[in-house]
Amino acid sequence: MSAAVQTESFWAALILAPLGFTAIGAILGVSAYSYAILTAKLGLPPLPSGRWLIP
Q: What is the pLDDT of residues 16-55, one digit of tens each?
A: 888 888 888 888 888 888 888 888 888 766 665 555 444 4
Q: Is the pLDDT of residue 14 over 80?
A: yes
pLDDT, position 55: 47
pTM score of the predicted model: 0.45
Q: Is the pLDDT of residue 3 over 80?
A: no
pLDDT, position 33: 84
Alpha carbon distance 29, 27 (integer Å): 5
Handedness of CA 5, 7, 12, 18 (dihedral sign): positive
Q: Is the pLDDT of residue 12 over 80?
A: yes
Contact 38, 50 (CB under 8 A): no
Domain ranges of the chain: 22-55
